[in-house]
Amino acid sequence: MKFRSRSLLSFLFFLFTLHTLLFTSFLLASDYIERIEVSGNKTVKTKKILSQISSRAGDIYNEDVLLDDTKKIYDIGKFEDVVVDVSTGTKGAVVRFIVKEKPRLKKIKFVGNRHISSSKILEKVIQSRGDYFETSDIMDAIKSIQQLYREEGFSQAQISHYIGKPDAKGREVITFYIQEGAKSVVKKLNIFGVKSFKLKKIKALMKTREKKVFNSDKLKDDVSKIEKFYGNRGFARMEISKPYVSFGDGGKSVFVSIFLYENGRYRIGKVSYSGNKVKSLKELAAAMKETKFASGEIYSKKREDELLEKISRIYGDDGYLKVLIDPQHSFRDGKIDINFAISEGPQIFINKIFIEGNRRTKDFVIRREIHVKEGDPFKLSVVRESQRRIFNLGYFSDIRILPTETHLPNRMDLTFKVQEQQTGMLTMGAGYSSTDRLVGTLQVSETNFRGMGQKLSVMWEFGKQRKNYNISFTEPYLFGRKVSFNSSLYNLQRYKEYESETISTDYYWEHKKGASVGFGKKFREIYSLNLTYSFESIKLTDVDSDYMIEQQQIADERGMTSSVRTSFTRDSRDYFWDPSRGSFQKISEEVATGLFGGQNYFHRERFQTSFFLTLVWKLVFVTNFKFGAVHGYGSTKEVPVYERFYVGGGESIRGYDYRGEIGPYEGGRFMNVNNIELKFPLVREKNQTVLQWAFFFDFGGCWADYDDVKWGFGESENNFKRGYGMGIRFKIPAFPVRLDWARGLDHRQRESETQWYFTIGDIFW
């Protein structure tokens, strides 16, 4: 008996030891992923699925990464179920993603539609042949079709659907059955209870009108408009009934009745606050003043809502995201007393910061633009500023802020969900300008090189009057610090026009070869200081000898320019690529010396200031002012012709040629450019303008000496010149494109009064 007991104990100990060894070996083996498999996919290639996930064979096994990979497979949009199965292999864990594909659409049919064509209905259905779909997509399609019928006056239309059996390829036919009903027209519209306003004025607010097709959705909007109209004019207790709708003549005639009770007009009486501990009454009163919500004024629901939003923002800027504000109204003698009962809630702190949606852009490129840290208070103003900074990179078409609850008290996770857009461009084409005539272009540019936020551009321009080779590179964060680095190499040849008192119009070749290297430092978010060194070799050929003597220019002897440029910039624009508010100021000083063999000696000063203001809606008003001066010194007191200012063309005063129509043909030592522009969007996608219309007015001039300035507009060389016009703006990723037509108002005889310009970039940079 004892022998058996000992044998049993020995056997159990053996099993325990074996289990421990096997479990330990499983843990050791499972530390790494041996291989990754995909099953269940029929039409989506395994290679496509594996390319979307982060896990790879040989990686350390990590459940969090696998869960994230599962979400990424879901995000492909072609699966209704994804399951992860992990088993033990010979050398590690075997990870298998078991997927179930959504059904695919073979065809859409419509049955019963007589008044609206199938093609018009099909426009409301997002899915098309070959798409993957789910039940929610069908429900959305039904809602869209019903909305279309309501807009056309068929308010009683009913839609159902049937999904056929899948074919051999898993594709299914969806049939929508439509019962249109009769087309309904408003026969009579009655509004009872209107006393303080003319009935005609109230009806003018509505889209529901007699002899017009009936739309129940529009009627709901009309009731809301009447409520807002009264609420914003002091009628704080106005009540309006649910519209009574009846149908006659088989549904063809609609009778609508609305009852409202005005209940008197009120002014704002006493305004008080309760429950506020974090924010003082002084801060809350400042918000009240800003929204013009004050005692004695006619009560306005709109302004009250603006005040509530302002107070919520004040609390949100300090991390109080769960603040609740309850406006408690009491009425007396034509006045409304309001107490804003505030429940401040706890201060919320950031638990973890996540970034989602970036497949190409490295995380650190985005994170360095985020100015909140894990553990910081969840300040909405700083979070929104981080969102703006990320957007200004130009790499993303959409950026969403997603706060999410955690199991920790008073802590929330913060997710920046980005949607990448194209940042690289290969451009091949031809263009025409009044300056360079016909020019061919081949350009490769990438504003997010290697996904690391670097900028690289290689360009080749070729034409009869222009040849240009250019390569440039920018690193915005050198060695991970807030110091930018940029460099460029170029070789430019241009055929330029000139004219003087003794020579008729002629041309010469200007050949520039050079390089530059620069560093910049940003501080306090909107300020930056830049230092750039450039070395340039310039040569003029095919120039008339009389012109050379007259201008005292000997290109072969003065062809080297070695200069250092410093600039200070203040930039508070809200969106770099298409600003709607803020300003931009820049002042720079460039000095050319004999450093490294430089032959030209001059100093050039520039100043620019631009302001952006949203007037109403998306209507943006822009002003821009530029001034420049250049002076020679030392052995080249006369500034070389190729270092002077030239005004005109698509980048300064539109409506005039780049050279010869404003100021001296040989260039000036002083210049001034002023631009006024009014622009508004024509097409918007994802809350961003992709196409806009602009009207502009430009004026300015260029002079050899300051004493030459004639303070007036006119045809004289030294007068200010004016131009006006209009154009369209295309916003392609990171490259604004402008097409402008302009007319000059102060041309001399034989000059063309109008010009067309096709340019890349903003005139206000």
C-alpha to C-alpha distances, 696 to 652, 659, 677, 723, nearest whole angstrom:
12, 21, 4, 8
pLDDT the model gives residue 440? 65
Is beta strand 424-433 parallel, antiparallel or unpaired with respect to 754-760?
Answer: unpaired
The pLDDT value given to residue 3: 40
Question: Dihedral of the CA atoms 519, 525, 527, 529 (nearest 10)?
Answer: -10
Distance CA 306, CA 763 (A): 36
Burial class from Cβ neighbours inside 10 Å (0-12, 13-18, 19+) for residue 128 reads exposed
**For the segment 38-64, what is each residue's pLDDT rounded down to a tens digit?**
998 888 888 888 888 888 888 888 888
In this predicted structure, the answer to whether residue 22 has a pLDDT above a threshold of 50 is: no
pLDDT of the residue at 667: 87
pLDDT confidence of residue 439: 58
Burial class (CB in 10 A: 0-12, 13-18, 19+), 491: middle
DSSP classification of residue 138: H
Beta bridge partners of 427: 443
CA distance 305 to 317: 18
Confidence (pLDDT) at 687: 66
Residue 602 scores a pLDDT above 90: yes
- Mean pLDDT to the nearest integer, 242-257: 90
The pLDDT of residue 555 is above 90: no
Predicted confidence (pLDDT) at residue 373 exceeds the cutoff of 80: yes
Query: CA-to-CA distance for 462 and 495, rounded, in angstroms?
Result: 12
DSSP state of 645: B
Greater confidence (87 vs 20) lies with 87
Gap between the Cα atoms of 194 and 709, Å rounded? 66
**Residue 132 backbone phi and psi in degrees, to 5:** -85, 140
Report the run of H or E that residue 367 belongs to, with start and end.
helix 363-367
Instruction: Provide the pLDDT for residue 374.
Output: 93
Confidence of residue 366 (pLDDT cuts 50, 70, 90): very high
Q: Are the C-beta atoms of residues 423 and 449 closer than 8 Å to each other?
A: no
Alpha helix positions (H), 41-177 = 46-52, 63-75, 118-122, 135-151
Residue 590 has phi, psi (to 5 degrees) of: -120, 130
How sure is the predictor about 726, in pLDDT bands with cuts at 50, 70 and 90? very high
612 CB-near residues (< 8 Å, 6+ apart): 573, 574, 579, 580, 581, 582, 583, 620, 621, 622
Residue 610 contacts residue 623 (beta carbons within 8 Å): yes
pLDDT higher than 80, residue 548: no
Place of tokens 């957007």: 391
pLDDT exceeds 50 at position 2: no
How distant, in Å, are the alpha carbons of 330, 496, 737 from that of 681? 44, 37, 14
Lowest mean pLDDT among 52-56, 149-153, 562-566, 599-603: 149-153
Per-residue buried b or exposed e for 589-600, using 16+ beta carbons within 10 Å of the residue's own CB: ebbbbeeeebbb
Planar angle of CA 148, 150, 156, nearest 5 degrees: 125
Predicted confidence (pLDDT) per residue in 120-165, tens digit: 888 878 777 777 887 778 888 888 888 888 888 887 788 888 888 8
∠ CA 675-571-587 to the nearest 5 degrees? 70
**Residue 668 structure tokens:** 């000036």
Q: What is the mean pLDDT of residues 607-633?
A: 93
- Of 106-110, 120-124, 352-356, 492-496, where does mean pLDDT reach its minimum? 492-496
Tell me the CA distances in angstroms from 362 to 366, 367, 386, 453, one per residue in order: 7, 9, 16, 8
Instruction: Quote the pLDDT of residue 1.
Output: 42
Chain centroid, CA 409 distance in Å = 35
- Per DSSP, the three-state class of 66 is helix
Report the pLDDT value the prediction gives residue 545, as an integer from 0 to 100: 54
Highest mean pLDDT: which range of 17-31, 38-52, 316-330, 541-555: 316-330
pLDDT of residue 155: 78
Beta-carbon contacts of 246 under 8 Å, excluding residues fewer than 6 positions away, are: 254, 255
Cβ atoms of residues 708 and 659 within 8 Å: no
Count H helices and E strands in the chain, helices first.
12, 33
Token representation of residue 672: 């001034």
Mean pLDDT of the chain: 85
- pLDDT tens digits for range 434-469: 455 555 667 788 888 888 889 998 888 776 667 788
441 DSSP β-pair partners: 429, 461
Highest averaged pLDDT of the listed ranges 131-140, 469-478, 551-560? 469-478
What is the reported pLDDT for 729?
A: 86
Give the pLDDT score at 20.
45
Give the separation between CA 598 and CA 593, rounded to whole angstroms.
6
Model confidence at 688: pLDDT above 80: no
Helices (H), 30-110: 46-52, 63-75
**Three-state secondary structure string covering 526-544:** CEEEEEEEEEEEEEEECCC
**Structure confidence at residue 429 (pLDDT):** 52
Chain length of the chain: 765
Examine the pLDDT at 95 and tell me if it is beyond 50.
yes
Give the closest residue to 338 by CA, choosing from 283, 300, 309, 291: 300
Report whether 718 contacts 758 (CB < 8 A).
Answer: no
Dist CA 336 CA 272 (whole Å): 12
Enumerate the β-bridge partners of residue 60: 32
Percentage of the chain lying above the pLDDT 70 cut: 88
In this prediction, residue 147 carries a pLDDT of: 84
Kindly provide the residue ranges of all beta strands, DSSP E only, lying in 499-581, ordered along the sequence. 506-523, 527-541, 560-571
Residues 6+ positions from 712 with CB-CB distance below 8 Å: 719, 720
Mean pLDDT calculated for residue range 707-720: 91
